[in-house]
Amino acid sequence: MTNRYNAAEVEPRWQKIWDEADVFRANNKGDKKFYALEMFPYPSGRIHMGHVRNYAMGDVVARYKKAQGFDVLHPMGWDAFGMPAENAAKENGGHPKDWTYDNIAAMKAPLKRLGFALDWSREFATCDEAYYKQQQAIFLKFWEKGLVYRKTAKVNWDPVDNTVLANEQVIDGKGWRSGAVVEQRDMDQWFFKITEYAEELLEGLDTLERWPEKVRTMQANWIGKSEGLQMRFEFVSSSRDKVFYNKELKNLGSSIPVNPSQKEYTEFLETALSLSPSYEGVDLNVVWESVLNGIEIFTTRPDTLYGASFIALSPDHPLIKKIAINNAKLEAFRAECAKLGTTEEAIATAPKLGFDTGLKVKHPFVAGKTLPVWIANFVLMGYGTGAIFGCPAHDQRDLDFARKYNLDVTPVVLPDGEDAATYDIGTEAYTGEGTLFNSDFLNEFNKADGISAAIAKIQDMKLGQGVTNYRLRDWGVSRQRYWGCPIPVIHCEDCGVLPVPEADLPVALPYDNIDLTIPGNPLDRHPTFKHVDCHKCGKAARRETDTLDTFADSSWYFARFAGGQGKGLPDDAPFDKDMASQWMPVDQYVGGVEHAVLHLLYARFFTRGLRDCGLIDLPSGEPFAGLFTQGMVTHAVFTDEDGQYVMPADIIEDGNQLLHIETKKIITQGDVIKMSKSKKNVVDPNDIIEGYGADVARWFVLSDSPPERDVEWTESGVVGAWRFSKKIWNLVEGANKEFSPMSLANDASGDALELRKFAHKALEKITIGIEAFRFNTSVAQIYELTNALSKYKIQDAARAESLGILIRTIAPFMPHLAEECWSVLGGDGLVYHAPWPKLDAAMLVDDNITLPLQVNGKRRSELSIPKDMAKDDIEALALSDEAVIRAIGDGTVRKVIIVPGRIVNIVVS
């Protein structure tokens, strides 16, 4: 008679035992440390299946490493600042702070109920004053170190969230959270100088061997390093006049000197400005500099300079802004460019548009040769210098442009095997390797040598120099929001922009008088927050009202977890330096791939900043040594007859159709997509825990699908997982309890030996699966071992040993069931503390093996032989096999290939 396994009773009981014994607290970091971390959750109010999968994976690793004898740190906390709290307050009243802490309380219970081996003693929320106080201290340290600065910049403005977004947070021209089309605005902003580390962040990627290739590639592309030449094309002397001496000015009776000094020129422009209000804001020095310096361009292909046929400026180029004034045609052109749309996709697919400014510049190498200066909509102001030289023969965009506007196309790179006399560029630019020609001193060079030679020459001529360009921009962190970390800065009219003295930290968020129903920043209109006396001169000053981008919060939380040893979370430092330095880096980080360039890049930057401010000893600056990006949990979408989405829990199967439980409407099943509230295809983990238990939920999300891929939630799959847990329990209940689960049956023979072999082979594969993050294969092996235990009905030490292996290997996956089984079987202490089963290598080899026999690569038969049989004997046996003889027929045996232990292939013709 077996007792039914009751997860609802068993699971909380073990959780209580773990809790009371405080077994998951990471106290000592010995020689073998392992820091397991999953991306901490935003406290939205409910746990979803994505969390379950994410934390189940981390928990498998944490528990497995513990069993392997590591000191494991596996903490948990809350990424608690952010817009949803403000939105909730706006929609439902209440306060963002209350909403957030209520949600944390609501989520902590189910998270604990899932039985993760988490060290809750280090728990914190990023909205805790103690946390953001330290973040403000870090901000000031970064400022001191030159990693923070302030400038007026064109920023991405999200009109729905009413805030600024970083470049990384603009996806396809839309805000990453709101989805609103992002506008450009000029604003005073705080920036983190992430570009300072562009090279290091790029090079560091090569050292991250345990990161997915995909994420590394994405980050490398985002940093976007390119090496090339920045140089200027000087204006042809007479054309300089044309820049500013346009018809309109002439008509107005102004005159420009032929070779003006800067003073004369400035006077001329001032006259011009006074004649037209649209000149307002023009910086005369900038204009003058462009006149003196010519047009700065950036290129990665200086080897093709002899093929240059035009210069193209971005429509946003500052020089254009000057010359566009009073030029109706040019204004019309710029308007036309703007009309094509501002989303990234629209820009990318827009037709090439050009405008000839009439200006001319000198070719640097060819005396007397001039190039026309065009404005082209495909040139981006945000990259390089906002200006290029066009070499149509060897750049597709330039070629499209040249063909459209009838500009010269001169090939200068000859592909191998082509004849210089006949080589012709049609509609496809040649961008590959080749030999330079039509290029005077560069002739006969290959691409790489040509590039070096051209750069050297330009440097000699003092027209430019070799430079490295990055796409990466500095990280704008000012947010005009309430629910974030206040930027610890004071603006004093006399003393300027001042850091808040460290002793005055934290700059705490006010709780009262926060009205989120009015657009704009509540801190800015708060009655007292803004008003502060300057600590330097004592006069009334203004407190900074912007808060930090919430991605800053998640850029160092892992270090605070690590440096919270002993005295708890420190209040006088972001973290204990020694402890953080010992635990860091995170050995295994697990989270969603959606953070590939956001959080994961910011954290790498921040950690370097912490290192360079002397806050942590971590020479590499890499916070995450191992990264795993897990797939999503998906579910079918259901709609009723009216096309309304229906929750899976509200559906009942009736014959061969699905009906709504209450309305009885017929339900149609749609696509399988990521669980989302709006599509109502969500399954609440709480329901699963109640119905089947935490172990079943954990087991299911780890079964079947490879962890990096999406897993489809299905009712039948859950039932299967539940059946399996019962099967394990039945095996344990029916076991002979005389033997300890730590038994070793070294003298086993017969069935007992077979079972032992099976168990150890399974153990090996289960272990490999966990190590390689292929939990689905570990799960499959656990099934096999379970099936073997059902098959071999023996009751002896070999069975106890195999069962002991089974229970210890399921422990990381289904810890409660494992504890219960371990206890019933008489295991010592907690299975959590039990060492990982020791692999008996002798059990992995068989004395007798089955060797497949192939004839011409087709399997015809098999041979059961001792594993070390001589090749000659194998050949003889193979050739005398009935099926083999039949397959050979009247053919002639040409060759017999014997791969010991693997296969025999007989080649017949």
Partner RNA sequence: GCGGGCGUGGUGGAAUUGGUAGACACGCAAGACUUAAAAUCUUGUUCCUGUAUAGGAGUGCCGGUUCGAUUCCGGCCGCCCGCACCA
DSSP code string of 738-753? TS-TT---TT--THHH
| Contact predicate 476/155, CB 8 Å | yes
User: Binding marks (x or -) toward RNA, 342..371, rule CB under 7 A?
Assistant: --xx-xxxx-x-------------------
Does 685 contact RNA by CB under 7 A? no
* Nearest-angstrom CA–CA distance, 584 and 563: 9
When the beta carbons of 365 and 383 are compared against RNA, the nearer one is 383
When the beta carbons of 148 and 353 are compared against RNA, the nearer one is 353
Does 897 contact RNA by CB under 7 A? yes
Site for RNA in 579-608 (CB under 7 A): 593, 596-597
* Nearest-angstrom CA–CA distance, 462 and 449: 20
| Contact predicate 602/551, CB 8 Å | yes
Site for RNA in 216-245 (CB under 7 A): 217-218, 221-222, 224, 226, 228
Site for RNA in 723-742 (CB under 7 A): 723-724, 726-727
| Contact predicate 306/412, CB 8 Å | yes
When the beta carbons of 89 and 472 are compared against RNA, the nearer one is 472
In the chain the first and final C-alpha atoms are separated, in Å, by 64
When the beta carbons of 712 and 875 are compared against RNA, the nearer one is 712
Does 902 contact RNA by CB under 7 A? yes
The pair of structure tokens assigned to 13 is: 């009981």
Does 677 contact RNA by CB under 7 A? no
* Nearest-angstrom CA–CA distance, 489 and 497: 7
Of 782-790, 798-806, 820-828, 840-848, the segment contacting RNA by CB under 7 A is 782-790
Does 857 contact RNA by CB under 7 A? yes
Residue 497 beta carbon to RNA: minimum distance, rounded to whole angstroms: 31
Helix segments in 82-236, DSSP class H: 83-92, 96-113, 129-144, 198-205, 213-223
Residue 646 beta carbon to RNA: minimum distance, rounded to whole angstroms: 21
When the beta carbons of 117 and 853 are compared against RNA, the nearer one is 853
Does 790 contact RNA by CB under 7 A? yes
When the beta carbons of 178 and 856 are compared against RNA, the nearer one is 856
Site for RNA in 148-207 (CB under 7 A): 171
* Nearest-angstrom CA–CA distance, 687 and 672: 20
Residue 726 beta carbon to RNA: minimum distance, rounded to whole angstroms: 6
Site for RNA in 864-893 (CB under 7 A): 883, 886-887
Residue 790 beta carbon to RNA: minimum distance, rounded to whole angstroms: 5
| Residue from 510, 720, 826, 900 binding RNA (CB under 7 A) | 720
Site for RNA in 464-483 (CB under 7 A): 469, 471
The angle subtended at Cα 106 by Cα 103 and Cα 110, nearest 5°, is: 135
| Residue from 774, 795, 796, 824 binding RNA (CB under 7 A) | 774
| Residue from 777, 794, 839, 840 binding RNA (CB under 7 A) | 777
Does 284 contact RNA by CB under 7 A? no
* Nearest-angstrom CA–CA distance, 362 and 258: 19
- Give Dmax (Cα) for the chain: 112
Does 609 contact RNA by CB under 7 A? no
Does 802 contact RNA by CB under 7 A? no
| Residue from 512, 858, 872, 889 binding RNA (CB under 7 A) | 858
| Contact predicate 766/809, CB 8 Å | yes
When the beta carbons of 471 and 679 are compared against RNA, the nearer one is 471
DSSP code string of 209-221? TBS-HHHHHHHHH
Residue (of 652, 824, 734) closest to 2 by Cα position = 734
* Nearest-angstrom CA–CA distance, 211 and 669: 37
Does 750 contact RNA by CB under 7 A? no
The pair of structure tokens assigned to 323 is: 């010359």
* Residue 237: how many other CB atoms lie within 10 Å: 11
- The residues with which 190 forms a beta bridge, in sequence order, are 150
User: Could you tell me the CA-to-CA distances from 854 to 81, 863, 903, 907 in Å, in that order?
Assistant: 65, 11, 8, 9
When the beta carbons of 345 and 494 are compared against RNA, the nearer one is 345
Residue identified by tokens 């232990």 is 901
Site for RNA in 805-824 (CB under 7 A): none
Computed on alpha carbons and rounded to an integer, the radius of gyration of the chain in Å comes to 35
In single-letter form, the type of residue at position 681 comes to: N
When the beta carbons of 397 and 577 are compared against RNA, the nearer one is 397
Residue 227 beta carbon to RNA: minimum distance, rounded to whole angstroms: 9
Does 639 contact RNA by CB under 7 A? no
Burial of 752 per CB tally in 10 Å (0-12, 13-18, 19+): buried
User: Could you tell me the CA-to-CA distances from 735 to 466, 704, 755, 796, 804 in Å, in that order?
Assistant: 76, 28, 15, 9, 11
User: Binding marks (x or -) toward RNA, 117..156, rule CB under 7 A?
Assistant: ----------------------------------------
User: Binding marks (x or -) toward RNA, 303..322, rule CB under 7 A?
Assistant: -----------x--------
Site for RNA in 371-430 (CB under 7 A): 377-384, 386, 388, 395, 397
| Contact predicate 739/807, CB 8 Å | no
When the beta carbons of 114 and 379 are compared against RNA, the nearer one is 379
